[in-house]
A and B are shown apart, each in its own frame.
Chain A
Amino acid sequence: MKARIAAAPYLLWAALFIIIPMGLVGWYAITDMDGNLTLDNFSASMRFAPVIGSSVWLAIIATGICLVIAYPLAYMISRKSGIGQRTLILLVMLPMWMNFLLRTYAWMTLLENNGVINRLLGMIGLGPYEMINTPGAVVLGMVYNYLPFMILPLYSVMTKIEPLLIEAATDLGCSPWETMKRVILPLSLPGIATGITMVFVPSVSTFVISVMLGGGSFMLIGDLIEMQFLGNAYNPHLGAALSLVLMAILLLCMVITDMFSNPEEKEGLLL
């Protein structure tokens, strides 16, 4: 009973600022400018399939790179002891203390044709390379900004892996590679699943990174939604439908990653 009272403020908050707005988004998506019920908004969204496709694709690339970078790093951190571990985690978190826009803006000045990196390369007679306004720059922006969201869940799962298990595997004749494949990897699956969701979701819906680092040449679904509200046509109905499409994509992503974090399996592996 007490718990229910304590939870009441949040429930009220959730109802007011999550459920009602969601309902409004749904309502906008199925009505037209004159307030009639229609499914046109969804068929109109489908015309933007290439934009949706390229957003998902860039987000997949960014998530993949994050995973490849973060996995060994998280493992290394989790095997450190005491102060070393805390320092490294602090270093991972440190960039997040700065504003997201500021960090992206900083990359802009680094990557520009007359930017810091090209000038340094110029001193040793290389370049200049065209780095900004490329898809690579967009992916870089995503990876840089969302990497901590991949490292942290991996790290927290890996610290829970008993060193004894690894020792036992080695004692029973596993090579380091096999230990990784048969013990550590399966045990860290839930962390991988969380990390993928945490990186993929903001990557696929970002709209600032593509504008700032992509030079506006790579329209992502986030830009498209923004355009419906602040663009020429002012069509919040289409914008709402596109938002629902985006949510469906995210839901699909979560269903897929969820398949990899089956609690039953974990028990089975531990036994």
Chain B
Amino acid sequence: MDNNMFRRLTALFCTILLLAASGSAAFADSFEFDRDNLPYTDDWDAYSYDEEYYSQLAGQGASINFYNWGEYISDGSDDLVDVIAEFEALTDIKVYYTNFATNEELYAKLKSGAASYDVIVPSDYMVARMIKEEMLAPLDYSNIPNVRYMNPAFMDPNYDPGSVYSLPYAWNTVGIIYNTSMVDEEPDSWSVLWDEQYAGQILMFNNSRDAFGVTLKYLGYSLNTEDPAQMREAAELLKEQKPLVQAYVMDQIFDKMENNEAAIATYYSGDALLIDNDNIAIAIPKEGTNKFVDACCIPAVAKNKLGAEMFINFLNEPPIAAQNTEYVGYGTANLAAYCLLDEEVRNDPILYPPQEILDNSEMYINLSDEANLMLDQLWTEVKASNKNILTWGILPVMTIAAIVIGKRQYRKNREKRHKYMIED
């Protein structure tokens, strides 16, 4: 039996043990867990670091490259811990920290082989894609003892059966962010994005997967559909919506919602908490939404796998994970950390939505290449179905240009002929 296989089996075994020990028969991706009777303390001081474990690489000049979403790790602001500095001090491992903005950017970077990272944080469907393309290394759970604190409801997910390659970092849902001074009723359906009343005040996702996901959910389809007819139907609906949309944006929503530029926006619910405007509220529509998990993984090309595993372990030290989740504003999949949080946070219906909503929602799965291509093609069609771009002017301008160029060529030819006549 080769080494790799052995490790995978060990990992699988550990997970099964873990699931059995937790006693809850969590079925995959339900995110369902008993929120009241948890076997962990709410005492922050109950935890301490295993110094011996963390000093394994000390004094060797070791380093790891950590590639993460922007503003996605506690950096010492708001009286919270500076996770990276704390880890560096504890382990003597230098952390080189860089950011990406989309899963696709992360994928493109790794796929091109242009850079090597030790820890990355892709979302669920991207984890699946990377596993399929053999871009990830299996995690060695004997080096990540803190896996014992993980919430079983988030282990053994569909995107990574047996949690062989990934350990959840944070989870969240897509919601409708709205400005209560401009929207009277709490929007309980995606239909509000097609409501003429809010024409010119709607901000929509500027990436194909999320924009189609929302629309497919509204239509009552799965957001992972590969049925061309359903995808086309969603594209038509998006084209219909276009005149009502103020802008297709990603990060810019923070500025725009803060300055009351728009009334309604689709975005990741946890991020809305970061918007500095008292009138901002979030709603999760009744049709269900996209729930997602961002998970720590180690690329197959990682140079310091042990260091990476120590870092992932450190991220799951309950006090660290608790402060980190507070900073990030997403839900945590670390149950011991969850127990350290204030009751108010634990019962926040946006961070930890009621089970009915979660049951209604779906995670993305990795689509086939054909479906991905079709999605981008349809998205381009939506974007290119233009509002007026002064097309009336094309004809006159082209005519004038043709006349000028034609006249010039004619004159040139005449001069040439004239010259030949002289030479003759």
A residues sitting closer than 8 Å to B (CB atoms) are: 33, 47-48, 50-51, 54, 57-58, 60-61, 64, 112-114, 130, 132-135, 211-212, 215-219, 223-224, 227-235, 256, 259-260, 262
10 closest pairs, A vs B, by CB? Answer: A215-B247, A216-B248, A219-B383, A233-B372, A233-B376, A135-B389, A216-B206, A50-B384, A232-B208, A51-B384
- Residues of chain A within 8 A (CB-CB) of B377 are 47
How many Å lie between the Cα of A262 and that of B409 in the bound state?
12
Pairwise interchain contact B387-A135, C-beta atoms closer than 8 A? yes
> 1/0 per residue B363-403: CB within 8 Å of A?
00000010011011101100110111111011001000000
> Number of B interface residues, CB 8 Å?
45
How many Å lie between the Cα of A231 and that of B380 in the bound state?
11
Q: Within the complex, which residue of B247, B405, B412 is in contact with A217, where a contact is CB–CB below 8 Å?
A: B247
What is the distance, in angstroms, from B276's C-beta to the closest C-beta of chain A?
15
Q: Considering the complex, give the chain B residue whose CB is closest to the CB of A60.
A: B397
> 1/0 per residue B190-222: CB within 8 Å of A?
000000000010000011110000000000000
Q: Within the complex, which residue of B200, B245, B372, B393 is in contact with A232, where a contact is CB–CB below 8 Å?
A: B372
Given contacts A215-B246, A234-B107, contact A58 B389 (CB under 8 A): yes
How many Å lie between the Cα of A22 and that of B200 in the bound state?
42
- Residues of chain B within 8 A (CB-CB) of A33 are 369
Q: Considering the complex, give the chain A residue whose CB is closest to the CB of B243.
A: A217
How many Å lie between the Cα of A57 and that of B398 in the bound state?
10
9 A-B residue contacts at CB 8 Å? A33-B369, A48-B384, A57-B390, A64-B397, A112-B256, A215-B249, A223-B383, A230-B104, A231-B207
Q: Considering the complex, give the chain A residue whose CB is closest to the CB of B388.
A: A135
Given contacts A57-B389, A215-B249, A217-B242, contact A232 B107 (CB under 8 A): no
A54-B384, A57-B390, A233-B373 given; 8 more Cβ-contact pairs under 8 Å = A50-B386, A54-B386, A134-B387, A216-B247, A217-B245, A218-B386, A227-B376, A233-B369
- B111 adjacent to chain A (CB < 8 Å): yes
- B105 adjacent to chain A (CB < 8 Å): yes
- Residues of chain A within 8 A (CB-CB) of B104 are 230-232, 234
Pairwise interchain contact B261-A114, C-beta atoms closer than 8 A? yes
Instruction: Tell which of A57, A219, A232 has the most Cβ of chain B within 10 Å.
Output: A232
- Residues of chain B within 8 A (CB-CB) of A130 are 200
How many Å lie between the Cα of A47 and that of B381 in the bound state?
10
> 1/0 per residue B228-249: CB within 8 Å of A?
0000000000000010011111
Given contacts A227-B376, A232-B376, A256-B405, contact A219 B260 (CB under 8 A): no
Q: Within the complex, which residue of B208, B383, B390 is in contact with A135, where a contact is CB–CB below 8 Å?
A: B390
- Residues of chain A within 8 A (CB-CB) of B245 are 215, 217
Pairwise interchain contact B380-A51, C-beta atoms closer than 8 A? yes
Pairwise interchain contact B260-A114, C-beta atoms closer than 8 A? yes
- B259 adjacent to chain A (CB < 8 Å): yes
Instruction: Tell which of A50, A113, A228 has the most Cβ of chain B within 10 Å.
Output: A113
- Residues of chain A within 8 A (CB-CB) of B208 are 231-232
Q: Considering the complex, give the chain B residue whose CB is closest to the CB of A132.
A: B247
What is the distance, in angstroms, from A90's C-beta to the closest C-beta of chain B?
32
Q: Within the complex, which residue of A51, A61, A232, A259 is in contact with B408, where a contact is CB–CB below 8 Å?
A: A259
Pairwise interchain contact A230-B108, C-beta atoms closer than 8 A? yes
- Residues of chain A within 8 A (CB-CB) of B249 are 215-216
Q: Within the complex, which residue of B252, B380, B388 is in contact with A219, where a contact is CB–CB below 8 Å?
A: B380
What is the distance, in angstroms, from A128's C-beta to the closest C-beta of chain B?
11
Q: Considering the complex, give the chain A residue whose CB is closest to the CB of B260.
A: A114
How many Å lie between the Cα of A252 and that of B25 in the bound state?
66
How many Å lie between the Cα of A187 and that of B261 in the bound state?
49
How many Å lie between the Cα of A48 and that of B387 in the bound state?
17
How many Å lie between the Cα of A235 and that of B245 in the bound state?
28
- B102 adjacent to chain A (CB < 8 Å): yes
Q: Within the complex, which residue of A57, A212, A215, A216 is in contact with B394, where a contact is CB–CB below 8 Å?
A: A57
- Residues of chain B within 8 A (CB-CB) of A60 are 397
Pairwise interchain contact A215-B259, C-beta atoms closer than 8 A? no
- Residues of chain B within 8 A (CB-CB) of A216 are 206, 247-249, 383
What is the distance, in angstroms, from B369's C-beta to the closest C-beta of chain A?
7
- Residues of chain A within 8 A (CB-CB) of B369 are 33, 233
